[in-house]
Chains A and B, each alone.
Chain A
Amino acid sequence: MSSSKRPSRDPEAGASEYIIDAEGVVVRFGEKTAVDGVDVKVLPGEIYGLLGPNGAGKTTTIRVLTTLQTPTAGRISVGGLPMPSENKGIREKIGIVQQMISLDKDISVRENIICHGYFQKVPKADIMRRMDSISSAMGLTPFLDSTVVRLSGGWQRKTSIACALMHDPEILFLDEPTAGLDTQSRHMLWDMIRQLNKAGTTIFLTTHYIEEAESLCNRVAILNGGRMAALGSPRELCDGIGRFAVEHNNEDHTRSYRYFSDWDGAKAFAAGFGDDESVVLRKTSLEDVFLELTGRKVTADFVKVVRI
Chain B
Amino acid sequence: MSLLSVFDEALRVARPDVYYLRRNFLSVLVTMLVTPLLYFVSFCYGLGSSVSDIGGVSYVAFVIPGVVALSTLTSSFSAIANKVLAQRIYYTSFDEIVLCPLSPSAVILGKALVGFLKSMLACSILLAIGLLMSADGMHVTPMLYLCIAVSCLTFSFLGVLVGFISKSLTDIIMFTSLIVVPMTFLCGTVFSVSSLPEAVQYFISALPLTYSVECIRAAALGWGVPLLSLAVTAAFGAAFFAICHWMLVSGRISKK
Contacts and interface: CB of A to CB of B under 8 A. Distances in A.
B96 A102 contact: yes
Contacts of A60: 256
A186 interface: no
Contacts of A103: 91, 93
Contacts of B256: 60, 63, 68-69
B16 interface: yes
A35 B90 CA distance: 23
Nearest to B254: A68
Contacts, number: 71
A96 interface: yes
A102 B93 contact: yes
Contacts of B202: none
A88 interface: yes
A66 B99 contact: yes
Contacts of A39: none
A36 interface: no
Given A63-B256, A88-B101, A121-B101, A104 B12 contact: no
A98 B99 contact: no
Given A69-B256, A98-B92, A104 B99 contact: no
A104 B16 contact: yes
Contact of A120 (B19, B24, B100): B100
B133 interface: no
B96 A115 contact: no
A91 B16 CA distance: 22
Nearest to B94: A102
Contacts of A121: 12, 100-101
Contacts of B87: 102
A102 B87 CA distance: 8
A100 B90 contact: yes
B185 interface: no
13 contacts: A68-B254, A91-B99, A101-B91, A102-B93, A103-B91, A104-B16, A104-B20, A106-B20, A108-B19, A111-B16, A115-B15, A118-B12, A119-B96
